[in-house]
Amino acid sequence: MKTLRMVRPSELKKIMKQREADEIRRKEEAELAALAAQGKKPGKPPAKDKKQADAEEEIIIDESEDPTEELVEVIDEPEHSKQEGTEKVVKLKASCVIDYAAFECTVNKIDYKPTLMYASRTFKFTVKNTSMINLEYNWKIANIQTAILDAGPFSIIPKQGTIAPGCDDNFIVKYSPTEVDSDNVRLLSANIRNLNPAEETEKLFIEVSGVAERPVIHFELPSTDYRERK
C-alpha cells in the first residue's frame, strides 16, 4: 500500500538521502552474510573520499519552505495468517477520473485607486475549476521587478486550498499601504498542481498595483486601556 503526502523540498532531500543510506546498508549486510556463508572474511571497507564525506553532512529542513514536493511512502502490510477454506472471490467495481487541472479567470490585472496610508481597499475576483479533478492552489506574491517573494502592502484570502470540479471560489486581494512608496507593484501567482505540461501559457498570474497617499495630518498614538479603566 502506498500513500502520497506533500513535503518541503529540503525535507524531501533529507528523506531521500536517508533512504539511499538505508539501501546501501542493506546491500552491505547482504554481502557480509553471503561471505559468511562461504566461509570468507570480509575485506576492509574502502576509505571515504571527500565527496562521500560531503554527502554525509546533515541536511537541515527549512521550515520557511512551502510543502510543494510529492513524497510516496510504502506502508507495510500487517502481519496475518491464512485460514483454510475461507477463500472467496469478490468482484470489485472501480472507477477513476483522469484529467489535467484547468481553470477560468477573467482578471489578469488589478489597479487600486489612490489610498491613504493605514487605510485599505479590497478587490474580489473568481476562479472557476473547469476540469474533472480537484484544483489545488497556493498563492504567492512576489516583487515584479526582482522576482523575490515580497507581499509588500498586498494580501490575498484564501491563500491556499482546493476547488472542487465544476465549482468556483472567490478571492479577496487587500491593499493596505503603511508608507508612501513608489514600488507598490506586485505579481500574484497561483501554484496549481497537475496543469497540462503541454500548455506552458496556462498559468494564473495577476499584476496588482496601487498608489499610497500621505494624509495632511496623521496621528500615530500608542495603544491605551483608558476605556477599560473608566
Are residues 108 and 70 located together in one domain of the fold?
no
* Total domain count, the chain: 2
Residue 94 is assigned to a structural domain of this protein: no
For 114, phi and psi rounded to 5 degrees? Answer: -50, 130
Which carries the bigger pLDDT value, residue 41 or residue 17?
Answer: 17
In this prediction, residue 153 carries a pLDDT of: 92
In a domain, 95, yes or no: no
Within this chain, do residues 35 and 123 fall inside the same structural domain, yes or no?
A: no
- The answer on pLDDT for 168 being more than 80 is yes
Task: Answer yes or no: is 218 within a domain.
Answer: no
Check which CATH number belongs to the domain holding 203 and give it.
2.60.40.10
pLDDT at 196 over 80: yes
Residue 90 lies in a domain: no
Residue 53 has pLDDT above 60, yes or no: no
pLDDT, residue 52, reads: 54
For residues 128 and 194, state if they share a domain. yes
Q: Parallel, antiparallel, or unpaired: how do β-strands 204-209 and 109-111 relate?
A: parallel
- Whether residue 45 is contained in a domain is answered as yes
Between the alpha carbon of residue 196 and those of residues 44, 66, 138, 187, 192, the distances in Å are: 52, 22, 17, 22, 10
Least confident of 16-20, 50-54, 71-75, 150-154: 50-54
State whether 131 and 196 are in the same domain: yes
Domain-embedded: residue 12: yes
Average pLDDT of the chain to the nearest whole number: 85
Contacts of 171 (CB under 8 A, 6+ apart): 124, 125, 126, 127, 139, 156, 157, 158
Question: Where does a domain end: 29, 58, 74?
Answer: 74
Q: How confident is the model at residue 80 (pLDDT cuts 50, 70, 90)?
A: confident
**Residue 109 and residue 174 in one domain:** yes
So what's the pLDDT on residue 218? 65
Give residue 108's pLDDT band: very low, low, confident or very high (50, 70, 90): very high
Of these ranges, 41-45, 79-83, 134-138, the one predicted with the greatest mean pLDDT is 134-138
In a domain, 96, yes or no: no
114 and 197 share one domain: yes
pLDDT of residue 96 exceeding 80, the answer is yes
60 shares its domain with 119: no
Mean pLDDT of the region 53-78? 77
Highest mean pLDDT among 75-79, 94-98, 165-169 belongs to 165-169
Q: Which domain holds residue 47?
A: 2-74
Question: Of the candidates 34, 59, 74, which is a domain's last residue?
Answer: 74
Cα–Cα–Cα angle for 51, 57, 60, rounded to 5 degrees: 140
Q: How many CB atoms lie within 10 A of CB 201?
A: 4
Q: Using one digit for the tens of pLDDT, what is the confidence trace for 120-131?
A: 999 999 999 999
> For residue 187, is it within any domain?
yes
